[in-house]
Structure 1
């Protein structure tokens, strides 16, 4: 480690190599022109090679400088990533939850005030994303996922199985809501990634064709908004529409419900430093699941 040049000199060198100008590098680094020039000179003296060729009043990378710049740029990028990861790690009084955006909006967030009432000393930070975060990096304390389980290196608890049901806004079709499977099939549909085949099989129907009356959406929140605005009927997960059904914002069109193939799971990395808050969240969440399943 003693052979490493000063970080300030490496940053100055990388900036000049990338920008091709000491003046522009100084402006980017918010230092003086002479400070950058001095850093470059000190770096060349420490390495014993000329990193730049002085042509008139300009600077051009030497071959040694070009190769060195590539490695320095990668090294500085690695340091930046490492710093970002350290800063992003949860603090002791902070509970970081990685969660799907749709589940967070329609199921978790409405219930979070009860967790905050039970554990007011924790600051809550939600990381909502469709991407599956590698929890072993330590950037989240817990995560709520859909899937078949068996994630390597993580503790996990199955929360509940979901189901699919057909819903519409109360004012859809002027309030003349379809009630039979055949009537539903004839309506404009809001289609997302949810599989219609199982519901159509249960209803004794062929799966609807991709007709001009359909709106295809790749995001559950957008699908639910289109349904809420009365643009069509949709097959949705109960976990996402249950509260809207209770408020009367959406209506279940039939009693036909089919299992959703991917259960919800609570998963967490097993770290001693986070065990207390992980346990607190687990206990609270299981209470909420029981209340949801048996209101």
Structure 2
């Protein structure tokens, strides 16, 4: 006998064991009642044990069936996860970049048309997540990360260092904008990921007190709250540079504070992804140079 029973029989048995009913299992699997019953009987014959005990019109798992069901459920879950990962891995003509949602939306996305224009042969896909994606799983070709670098097993290209600036919408407070550090901290304040400590130290003022008028764990929400005129905050320049240039936000003070963590492009050192990632890395370095030196922007 093969060490591997038919997958259809395992799926039928697991569904019956979980739902406690052949009828419900058949409905879930979109097969007939008799097909599920036959699959379970076939599995019992292959194993040489009784998995389900009939009690009147109902079914009850035997002890052997209960233990087997737990193991089969775990195995089917592993198969489903392996299948999901296989489907999610980049195809040959696809370039998948993992990014933080805020960086992806506020900095990278507006610049992508130029990459598409230069390299139309690639389908570009962004994986936006607050979690650090393990590139060893092959779900992304490369990632933009914030940190101190030194990620083991990854090639790394430093992009740029950021800074914290105080910003708000030009229509905030009816256009009567705070300008001094003390006026800025008088609020109402919007709190995001960033600590006020570096900016307050640079301004020579104490930390603000209270929880602020609005708090969010995603910088995209913070930027949108700023656009709506809900308050003032400090934010990474990279995330508000576009809004500042469009006049949607204004910088309230010349006070700025270095951000502790640079941006990096990282990628696994695999030959299969090396060529297309190198093209993306070269293009991204050009975009960073234009961002840091706006006077070089083409007319």
Q: Distance in 1 between matches of 2:62 and 2:142?
A: 50
Q: Which stretch of structure 1 is more off in the superposition, 172-181 or 14-23? A: 172-181
Quote the residue 2:221 is aligned against: 222
Quote the residue 2:297 is aligned against: none
Structure-1-length-normalised TM-score: 0.97
Quote the residue 2:13 is aligned against: 13
Q: Distance in 1 between matches of 2:30 and 2:106?
A: 46
State the Cα deviation string for residues 76-101 of structure 1 (Å, max 9, x = none): 11111111111111000011110000
Quote the residue 2:247 is aligned against: 248
How many residues get paired?
A: 294
- For 1:21-32, list aligned pairs within 5 A: 21-32=21-32
Quote the residue 1:284 is aligned against: 283
Q: Distance in 2 between matches of 1:207 and 1:214?
A: 16
Quote the residue 1:163 is aligned against: 163
Quote the residue 2:142 is aligned against: 142
Q: Offset of 1:237 from its aligned partner?
A: 0.5
Unaligned runs of 5+ in 1: none
- For 1:164-243, list aligned pairs within 5 A: 164-210=164-210, 214-243=213-242
CA pair 22-255 structure 1, distance change in 2 beyond 3 A: same
Structure-2-length-normalised TM-score: 0.96
State the Cα deviation string for residues 232-277 of structure 1 (Å, max 9, x = none): 1110100001111111111111111110001101011112111111
- Match of 2:234, SS? strand
Q: Distance in 2 between matches of 1:164 and 1:94?
A: 35
Q: Distance in 2 between matches of 1:184 and 1:69?
A: 62
- Match of 1:206, SS? coil
Q: Distance in 1 between matches of 2:125 and 2:102?
A: 16
Unaligned runs of 5+ in 2: 295-299
Quote the residue 2:54 is aligned against: 54
Q: Distance in 1 between matches of 2:77 and 2:35?
A: 23
- For 1:52-201, list aligned pairs within 5 A: 52-201=52-201
- Match of 1:144, SS? strand
